[in-house]
Amino acid sequence: MTGVLAQGVVLASIPSPSTGVWHLGPLPLRAYAFAILAGIFVAAWMTGKRWEARGGSIDDMYTIVYWAVPFGIIGGRIYHVISSPDAYFGEGGDPLKAFAIWEGGLGIWGAIAFGAVGAYIGCRRTGVRFSSFADAVAPGLLVAQAIGRLGNWFNQELFGGPTTLPWGLEISPDRLPAGYEVGTLFHPTFLYELLWNLAAAALLVFLDRRFRLGHGRVFWLYVVFYTVGRLWIELLRIDPAEQVFGLRLNVWTSILVGLVGVAAFVVQGRRHAGREDSVFVDGDRQVPAPVGAGASAAGDEAVVTDHPTGHDDPTDTVEEGQDQPKL
């Protein structure tokens, strides 16, 4: 942190990066793009670990990701343009910049909605349960979103209102919103959301292990946790956005989607107890074992079968006669 002078008082602050773009010859390297890509790779790695622990095939997981990622990026851009249209279709706007995704601007609601469509297609093609994959990917989504927020920091965008808190964010004079003096500090909403998402991801993993959640309930908890955080963070932001009944569009979206998440979590909990016995639509399907993990020298094909009790790990089993915790 650094110190800035404001009204004669030295305040601690968070500096903004001096640039978000580096050039390798004619090729621009953008921090925003690196943040998005890093988030995708980390989410894919986390999902792979969780998917295998649930009895799924890593090859199937990558096939689903292959469909989900491009759908999510396109959907995220569409939602961003719809929710913040002035820069593209307002006075002095440039409609062609709606396609300039490398300059920043992805709406998480569109990314999740379209990404879910892509994931559903991938699940249908691989024969796995969509709800099982959604549960496996949920914590990774939060971590990816946390990493992606670093791109907003580099771009000096989507910050909150002015503040005198010691973690106020410095903004370059050329990036200051109209009406604010040089040296004004702003709420670092990128940091608030980053920390909220990481904490929510850790809580999801804990609850999933503790209560053996399944049938989409981990995903719906993800929806609830994220929307609760996004609601109060969105209320701090001052960047231009569409207003509906005096509130930002994303505030209403957070409220509505959050309520849907709560309802879906409760309904699924009443319809299905515990976790699925198999992540595959065809419950008899088996996953080939890694080479050397049980295959005989004669080349007999080895398979890893789902645990007959439906447990992913022997340490998760519930002793006979002991009630299983419920959530």
Minimum mean pLDDT range among 37-51, 61-75, 146-160, 305-319: 305-319
Q: How does residue 16 score in pLDDT terms, banded at 50, 70 and 90?
A: very high
Residues annotated as binding site? 149
Does position 205 have pLDDT exceeding 90, yes or no? yes
Contacts 24+ apart (CB under 8 A), 37-46: 38/147, 39/143, 39/144, 39/145, 39/146, 39/147, 39/148, 40/69, 40/144, 42/140, 42/143, 42/144, 42/147, 43/137, 43/140, 43/141, 43/143, 43/144, 44/140, 45/140, 46/139, 46/140, 46/143
Nearest-CA neighbor of 18 among 207, 171, 141? 171
Confidence (pLDDT) at 91: 80
Does position 249 have pLDDT exceeding 70, yes or no? yes
Does position 5 have pLDDT exceeding 80, yes or no? no
Q: What's the rounded mean pLDDT across residues 141-156? A: 96
Helices (H) and strands (E) in the chain, counts: 8, 9
What is the H or E stretch that residue 226 is in?
Answer: helix 217-236
d(CA 88, CA 96): 7
* Total residue count of the chain as it appears in this document: 327
Q: What's the rounded mean pLDDT across residues 249-268? A: 96
Residue 163 has which token pair? 């503040």
Q: What is the DSSP string of 77-101?
A: HHHHHHHS-HHHHSTT--GGGGG-G
d(CA 274, CA 316): 12
Confidence (pLDDT) at 327: 54
d(CA 53, CA 275): 12
Does position 48 have pLDDT exceeding 90, yes or no? yes
Pairing between strand 9-14 and 168-169? parallel
Alpha helices in 104-216 (DSSP H): 108-126, 130-155, 189-211
Contacts of 180 (CB under 8 A, 6+ apart): 162
Does position 15 have pLDDT exceeding 50, yes or no? yes
Strand, coil or helix: what is 318?
coil
Confidence (pLDDT) at 98: 85
Confidence (pLDDT) at 288: 65
Q: How does residue 84 score in pLDDT terms, banded at 50, 70 and 90?
A: confident
Confidence (pLDDT) at 6: 44
The amino acid occupying position 61 is M
Of the two residues 1 and 172, the one the predictor is more confident about is: 172
pLDDT tens profile 91-138: 878 888 888 876 777 888 899 999 999 999 999 999 999 999 999 999
pLDDT tens profile 276-312: 999 999 877 777 665 554 444 344 434 444 444 444 4
Confidence (pLDDT) at 113: 93
Give the mean pLDDT of the chain.
86
Confidence (pLDDT) at 292: 53
Confidence (pLDDT) at 82: 84
